[in-house]
Structure 1
């Protein structure tokens, strides 16, 4: 009797399972139908953007046949334990010259071990090999492409100068960017030593700006590409450029391009270790970040 009862229970359970099994279905939501999906039709798409960058890819808003396209945006002299008057020289790679044990961090702006912020040029252009790895300034000269030439504005390269000046001296800067009027260091000396120079016809390859995209395929661009090296600035730029950091607003000339010189992109560069900040004798510092500002100027010499 016990055996019969157990058998009956198992059979009953099997019957329940058979009754609960779902019937086969084949429908889903069809592609291509708004009504079928009660919304955006299938298939549906979305996008992902990914990227990686190297160096300083920013640029200013300047335009024109002749333009100042790039200057060093940040010169980073690092973060240090103290100012030792016996070792007053600092380099834009974040080092205190001659006193390595005084270096705390490579960057003045981020004291958590961040990379030094003095950007240097990355390039695959063999014509720019001399300035690769330098903090750089670029003057683009496309005056030969001028379509509105007249007696005063000619379709010829050159007749311009590039200069730099200090807007102010070093001053402690608060976390909200305000300059101190009392914690200041006047008359520190900034020098750009051993100026390197290179010229290229591949303007767009250097700048990446849309306004230069048609240069290489235009008649003027093709003409330039066959004359790389002609029209280069013939040594009329300074090997060493020095300025005093104060508010005297004295422009210091870096280069003068004569008539017929400078067609294409002209790049002037300095390795960060050759950009020097020398603190004045008697300078005293606080636990603070000190900043000064420079203005670079491209001007015509045409009269």
Structure 2
């Protein structure tokens, strides 16, 4: 963000005017041919840190993060012969059609990617990601107190993450393009015991240390028909005693593709489709 120092310039200008015209006076302008003076406008000087779109989920097992936006870019025109796009904002197979990196005609693509120095998450660094936090070992409701002298702590795992389309297709106002597919290819996976270092959320600042259980499993490619509602496609899962800690599933933006399948029914507009991610448990 660029901040411009304007205060010193204004003060210097005011001083110079008082030297050159010490007797000048300024009357209020009442007839300005438009907005009367004094007229005002505003500036928002802003800075932020961390994720300001916390989904509000809490608990020993929770869906902590999913991609907020998948941005397939803005393009000069639609060519049915080149109807594939990726979440880095590129129209695949054609040169010169990518007008803006973002769908809303801004120059920065809005597909957020993970930035981390955690070596356990090296495989998902730079990916659009979804995170399942599993701290069920610390859940007092899962402790087996059959023998009070040696209580058995809870167990991690026994959960599944899925994703589905809302089924409306690609929609721009009252216009809908059916038959579009969204594909998450080349899924990457990483798991870390440093949950707080990843999420930076107060609820994870609890000194919880994940055990060295086995990893969750994941599906290498997920394909969604955007016109089919509530068809939950598996993303990842953990059996009992697996997945303790923060489980991250990630995709490079170039591996997330939107295929309009040569549709002839695409007009100028800003199209959107909704996805729902669901974490289920058998516990």
Q: TM-score, normalised by structure 1?
A: 0.72
User: How far has the Cα of 1:281 moved from its partner?
Assistant: 3.0
Cα deviation per residue 1:8-67 (whole Å; 9 max; x = unaligned)? xxxxxxxxxxxxxxxxxxxxxxxxxxxxxxxxxxxxxxxxx985547x553210000100
Partner Cα separation in structure 2 for residue 100 and residue 134 of structure 1: 24
CA contact (8 A) 1:120 1:136 kept: yes
Tell me which of 214, 218, 243 is aligned to 1:262: 243
Which structure would you say has the larger Rg?
A: 1
Do residues 208 (structure 1) and 207 (structure 2) align? Answer: no
Tell me which of 257, 265, 268 is aligned to 1:276: 257
CA contact (8 A) 2:137 2:154 kept: yes
Partner Cα separation in structure 1 for residue 97 and residue 86 of structure 2: 13
- Structure 1: runs of 5+ lacking an equivalent: 1-48, 174-179
Partner Cα separation in structure 2 for residue 280 and residue 301 of structure 1: 38
Paired residue for 1:12?
none
- Number of paired residues? 230
Structure 1's 50 and 116: CA in aligned 2 closer, same or farther, altered over 3 A? closer
Paired residue for 2:19?
none
Tell me which of 168, 176, 190 is aligned to 1:184: 176
Paired residue for 1:177?
none
Partner Cα separation in structure 2 for residue 57 and residue 132 of structure 1: 20
Structure 1's 89 and 145: CA in aligned 2 closer, same or farther, altered over 3 A? same
Paired residue for 2:91?
96
CA contact (8 A) 1:185 1:283 kept: no
Partner Cα separation in structure 1 for residue 143 and residue 205 of structure 2: 26
CA contact (8 A) 1:189 1:243 kept: yes
Matches within 5 A, 1:124-163: 124-149=117-142, 155-163=154-162
Matches within 5 A, 1:1-303: 51=47, 53=49, 56=51, 58-109=53-104, 111=105, 113-149=106-142, 155-167=154-166, 168-173=168-173, 180=174, 183-216=175-208, 221=209, 224=210, 227-228=211-212, 230-233=213-216, 236-302=217-283
User: How far has the Cα of 1:285 moved from its partner?
Assistant: 1.9
**Secondary structure at the counterpart of residue 130 of structure 1:** helix
When you count helix as a share of all residues, which structure comes out higher?
1
CA-based RMSD of the aligned residues comes to 1.9
Partner Cα separation in structure 2 for residue 121 and residue 58 of structure 1: 15
Structure 1's 159 and 73: CA in aligned 2 closer, same or farther, altered over 3 A? same
